[in-house]
A and B are shown apart, each in its own frame.
Chain A
Amino acid sequence: MINGKHSLVLTVFAFIVMLATLAFMSNAINDSENFSKLYSLLLVINTLGLLILIYLIGRNIKRLLKQLKQNRPGSRLTLRLVTTFILLAVIPLIIVYWFSTDFIRRGIDNWFDVRVEQALTDSLDLSKESLGLRVRELLKTTENMAEDLTESSQSDINISAINLSDLQGEINTTVMNTLDFDTSKLDDLRVRNGAEELAVLSRKGKIIATSSTQTDIVPDIPGESTLLQLRQGRNYIGLEPIRDAGLFIRAVVKIPNNNLDNKTRMLQALYPIATHINELAENVQTAYAKYQELAYLKKPLQVSSTMTLTLVLLFSIFSAVLAAFHSARKLTSPIQDLAEGTRRISHGDYGKQLTVSSSDDLGFLVQSFNEMSVKIAAAQHALDSQRTYLQAVLGKLSSGVLTFDTHLNFKTANASASQILGTDLEAYLGQPIGQVPEKEIKLSTLFESIKPNLLHHSDDWQEQIVLFGASGRQVLMCRGTALDSSGEEGHVIVFDDVTALIQGQKDAAWSEVARRLAHEIKNPLTPIQLSAERLRQKYLAKMNSTDADTLDRLTNTIIQQVGTMKDMVNTFSDYARPSKIKPEPLDVNPLLEEVSTLYQQMSKKTDIELDLQKNLPSIEADHNRLRQILNNLIKNAIEATENVDKPKIRLITKTIQTSARELIEIRIIDNGSGFPEDLINEIFEPYVTTKSSGTGLGLAIVKKIVEEHGGIVLVENNDDQGSSVMIRLPVKIENNNVLSINESKKNLARKNAL
């Protein structure tokens, strides 16, 4: 793949080479000598150049098509721009080409027009004809001069033969001297007839007399062939170059011989030809020659001109196309960048910077985009940091925070909210307030409770909400407010788990009550007890037997009742006492055996049956508290079965393995009277009892102790007869991880068969 820079270099190179060769070609047409030699070479080079251009254009088209197929931003614009540019360039070019070829064809045709050729031929003939006419005239003139010479010399010319060969060295003086008279005659003739030079020659070509416009030169002697022609009796006339002074007309005639000495004489006359006639003739001659030459090349000239023009056309078109691609790309590349940048920003990649490649409107646009991008990134960053800050604050808050939008869709929740509600609130974000799954009992209860407030309150509200969930009763103090006065922005709810607080307050109150009660009751009991004992001590021995019996019975009753009251106060103190268990490893089975043995001895008619699982894991529990639970429950069971024919109590232990942890289960099942259905839900509340005697705190204390151990206790009536109590205790006590009622209920067998 050639990259953009190489492509550009290649284009420019091809462009220059082609331009140069085209220039050569157009010159070559006018240079017929080098024409055919250079032309083919240039044609080849140009064709190669065109091929390179075609290759480049092809690549550009391919790339554009690929971009169109990929639906790249800006590719359609590129296509439109390229098409427009090409149309703009090509149409005028083709029009110019059309007319140019027409002109060339017609121009060359006109150039070689028949009339022009005829005119040239005619003018050549004309020049020859006019020259011939002059020559004939001059011959005539020369012959007349020869006759003049004959007449004048009949009497007085007596030219003695001189051996001219002896006088070669000083020919002029000799002739001048001997032919004095002749010279003046000749001069006269020469001037009269406009000759350059006149010379009288002997038969052998020897100069006898001469006359010239230039006095100091030796007359030009005609050639041997001319002399021969004259000896044969024919006069000579012809154009000859003389002494480097240009063309002269040379006329040589025989001087008529009517002399006595019978010697033949010749007259030679040299006439100048008019200079411009000479030049014109020469020009005509040259032009004609040139014309002939060109006429021969007429057809190839036409073809090559058209070819050159075609090459120029193709070259221009291809260059225009390439330029169109180039400028379209240059124009659309910032647009593509912008499109790409916008796409990136819309995908959340803020702060994308584009390179500003130009200072025009597009450059300004790109610059604006960069500024916008930076600002968006900054704003986003500020927003993010603000959100992070807010989240950090909310995360550190011990209160739960929930927000709802206008349509009461659950929008946000902090970590504390999830922790208080014991569920991952992230899973329910975005859901409408009414669409929480039923398994999320606490969450749905909370939402149901706050919904009326969200619907009807636009100002602050506060409500204490009690939830019953997996970890038991939970009291939440909720405060809510609309984010604006109309509730258009949604609502925010802040809540705290005040269960522990309330429980603590309750515990403290109970504890204080117990303390006071103990003091206020036990203090008066002391003197009662002491007095009763004092009475016995002092008077029992001194009384008669009847009185002594009475005193004994009465004081015993007092002492007994004081004891009962003391027990009651102590039990209450136990219940009200703040939790302080001392967990240590404990095996439940031996404890059950021990307690059951005790009660079996106390209540012989009751059948106490043990169904204990072997290898029951030891648990972490307070030994004394657990014994207290078992005492209370077995005592209850025995009391419940008092009026039954065959009282029976079953004690069962087993291990329960839940997904979260390992538990042990203790069940006490009796076939007694069972619990009244109306009381069964509140049987663990203090002072709720089915018995006529007792403190009413037995089951309440059981529940308290079980919960202190992180366990759970449930009662229910059996399907047939009696009731069962089920206790589940974790093998390991974990904080804040009380057993869920649901998992316990699920596993509590409906039929507790005895």
Chain B
Amino acid sequence: MSSAYILVVDDEPDIRNLLQEILEDEGFSVSVAENGQAARDSIRLRRPDLILLDIWMPDIDGVALLKEWKENESLDSTVIMISGHGTVETAVEAIRIGAYDFIEKPLSIAKLLLQLTGLWRHLL
């Protein structure tokens, strides 16, 4: 479990850094990316086990980025979408494309960790 590598993609530095701190405290190895391009670069360096992907980013829509990865089969990581303006339609769309789950902002640590535990149980 400690070996799990998580990539956090969010344009908000506070969210990125807090998530990194919290997740590292939990024993994950964590990288962050502030936009779509950085995320692409990051996954080329190391394949993450899990990606927490924000939907609304300055350069690219999270859903579009997910679609891009899934379409050229460059990614087999588990993706959880994070959205501030989550609607049922967006969530359904994301999961249809290949996201594992959908988390609504504001995030709650307890909820996130619960979900990760569930995910790891599922993956293992």
Query: What residues make up the interface of A, taking CB atoms closer than 8 Å to B?
Result: 514-515, 518-519, 521-523, 525-531, 533-534, 537, 559, 562, 566, 573, 577
- The 7 A-B residue pairs with the shortest CB-CB distance, nearest first, are A518-B85, A522-B84, A527-B14, A525-B106, A529-B106, A526-B106, A533-B109
| Chain A to chain B contacts (Cβ below 8 Å), 23 pairs | A515-B85, A518-B84, A518-B85, A521-B84, A522-B104, A523-B12, A525-B105, A526-B14, A526-B15, A526-B105, A526-B106, A527-B15, A529-B107, A529-B108, A530-B15, A530-B19, A530-B22, A530-B109, A533-B110, A534-B18, A537-B109, A566-B106, A573-B87
Knowing that A530-B15, A534-B22 touch, tell me 12 more A-B residue pairs with CB under 8 angstroms: A519-B84, A525-B106, A526-B84, A526-B105, A526-B106, A527-B14, A527-B15, A529-B107, A530-B19, A533-B110, A573-B85, A577-B87
B18/A523 in contact, CB under 8 A: no
- List the A side residues contacting B87 at CB < 8 Å: 573, 577
Closest residue of B by beta carbon distance from A566: B106
A528/B85 in contact, CB under 8 A: no
Q: How far is the CB of B59 from chain A (nearest CB, A)?
A: 15
- List the B side residues contacting A534 at CB < 8 Å: 18, 21-22, 109
Select which of B19, B22, B85, B107 is within 8 A of A519 by beta carbon.
Answer: B85
Most buried by B among A515, A523, A528, A562: A523
Kindly identify, within residues 73 to 107 of chain B, every residue whose CB is under 8 Å from any CB belonging to chain A. 84-85, 87, 104-107
- List the A side residues contacting B104 at CB < 8 Å: 522
A519/B109 in contact, CB under 8 A: no
Closest residue of A by beta carbon distance from B84: A522
Select which of B21, B84, B108, B110 is within 8 A of A523 by beta carbon.
Answer: B84
Q: Is B28 an interface residue (CB 8 A)?
A: no
- List the B side residues contacting A526 at CB < 8 Å: 12, 14-15, 84, 105-107
Query: What residues make up the interface of B, taking CB atoms closer than 8 Å to A?
Result: 12, 14-15, 18-19, 21-22, 56, 84-85, 87, 104-110
- List the A side residues contacting B105 at CB < 8 Å: 522-523, 525-526
Complex formed: what's the CA distance from A531 to B108 in Å?
10
B15/A523 in contact, CB under 8 A: yes
Q: How far is the CB of A527 from chain B (nearest CB, A)?
A: 4
Known A-B contacts A523-B15, A534-B18, A534-B21; A528 and B106 likewise in contact (beta carbons under 8 Å): yes
Complex formed: what's the CA distance from A528 to B85 in Å?
17
Closest residue of B by beta carbon distance from A516: B85
- List the A side residues contacting B22 at CB < 8 Å: 530, 534, 537
Complex formed: what's the CA distance from A534 to B106 in Å?
14
B12/A522 in contact, CB under 8 A: no
Closest residue of B by beta carbon distance from A530: B18
- List the A side residues contacting B19 at CB < 8 Å: 530
A519/B106 in contact, CB under 8 A: no
A527/B84 in contact, CB under 8 A: no
Most buried by A among B12, B15, B87, B105: B105
Select which of A527, A562, A566, A573 is within 8 A of B18 by beta carbon.
Answer: A527
Closest residue of A by beta carbon distance from B17: A527
- List the B side residues contacting A525 at CB < 8 Å: 105-106
Q: How far is the CB of A175 from chain B (nearest CB, A)?
A: 182
- List the B side residues contacting A573 at CB < 8 Å: 85, 87
- List the B side residues contacting A559 at CB < 8 Å: 108
- List the B side residues contacting A530 at CB < 8 Å: 15, 18-19, 22, 106-107, 109
- List the A side residues contacting B56 at CB < 8 Å: 519
Closest residue of B by beta carbon distance from A577: B87
Complex formed: what's the CA distance from A573 to B15 in Å?
23
B12/A533 in contact, CB under 8 A: no
- List the B side residues contacting A518 at CB < 8 Å: 84-85
- List the B side residues contacting A519 at CB < 8 Å: 56, 84-85
Q: How far is the CB of B34 from chain A (nearest CB, A)?
A: 13
- List the B side residues contacting A515 at CB < 8 Å: 85
Closest residue of A by beta carbon distance from B105: A522
Q: How far is the CB of B52 from chain A (nearest CB, A)?
A: 12
Most buried by A among B14, B18, B22, B85: B85
Closest residue of A by beta carbon distance from B14: A527
Closest residue of B by beta carbon distance from A518: B85
B109/A527 in contact, CB under 8 A: no
Complex formed: what's the CA distance from A279 to B80 in Å?
169
Closest residue of A by beta carbon distance from B13: A527
Closest residue of B by beta carbon distance from A562: B106
Complex formed: what's the CA distance from A559 to B109 in Å?
11
Most buried by A among B14, B18, B84, B110: B84
Q: How far is the CB of B17 from chain A (nearest CB, A)?
A: 9
Complex formed: what's the CA distance from A522 to B12 in Å?
11
Complex formed: what's the CA distance from A537 to B108 in Å?
12
Q: How far is the CB of A410 from chain B (nearest CB, A)?
A: 48
Complex formed: what's the CA distance from A533 to B109 in Å?
7
